[in-house]
Amino acid sequence: MDDLARHADDLAALPPSCGPVRLVAVDGHAGSGKSTFAARLATALGGAPVLHLDDLATHEELFGWTGRLREQVLGPLSHGEHARYAPYDWTERRFGPARTLEPAPVVLVEGVGAGRREVRPWLAALCWMELDRETSWERGRRRDGAGLTGFWDGWTRAEERHFAEDPSRPYADTLVRQLPEGYAWLPGPRATAGANWNVTYRSQDAPPY
């Protein structure tokens, strides 16, 4: 088991990537544990803000949120200003009241596609949840119940298309594997290719899938 506090310190020591902010992405398949991991990492970072990409996506635009992310979040943060965005209500199918996101030293952005090519130039680090898609999707379906089977059928097709066209894992600095207690941090493809920083222990890479 790895100590999140140690890795949080390493992330906080990285050069800023989005104005004064170190933007850290947590990507992976739906159901892979991104939200839980991001919440625990945020706590280890002393209460770092977390942006959930589910708040920017919609039923009609599962992956069409990059414009909103750039205009409402990345632009303001890059100028040291508070971001202001309206989270999408998945029950009411409309955007709700606006929220603010402060330009903290570290800001986490979590969700499927957080490490996509349009976002990577703004990132200080990209973490990938190392769990295969079939296991992740099955976990997600169990979590959400039979009532969302139709949504999940559409989601998995959309996610498969997205990662086929715009994969994140090859650019990950860290592969995060959930353990019975805690997480293991492994060097990601970018780190092993010679990135100029590393927040992982030396360990054998997991096989691709």
pLDDT tens for each residue of 71-106:
999 999 999 999 999 999 999 999 999 999 999 999
Query: How large is the average pLDDT for residues 105-132?
Result: 98
Residue pair 85/55 in contact by the 8 Å Cβ criterion = yes
Chain-wide mean pLDDT for the chain?
Answer: 91
Q: Is the pLDDT of residue 125 over 90?
A: yes
Assessment of whether the complete model's pTM goes beyond 0.75: yes
SS3 56: coil
pLDDT at 193: 72
Tokens of 84: 């202001």
Number of Cβ atoms within 10 Å of the Cβ of 41? 24
pLDDT digits (tens, 9 = 90+) for 22-53: 999 999 999 999 999 999 999 999 999 999 99
Region label for 44, one of left (φ > 0), alpha (ψ between -120 and 50) or beta (otherwise) = alpha
Q: Is the pLDDT of residue 157 over 50?
A: yes
What's phi and psi for 186, nearest 5 deg?
A: -120, 150
Q: Is the pLDDT of residue 149 over 90?
A: yes
Which burial class, exposed, middle or buried, applies to 87 when counting CB atoms under 10 A from its CB (0-12, 13-18, 19+)?
middle
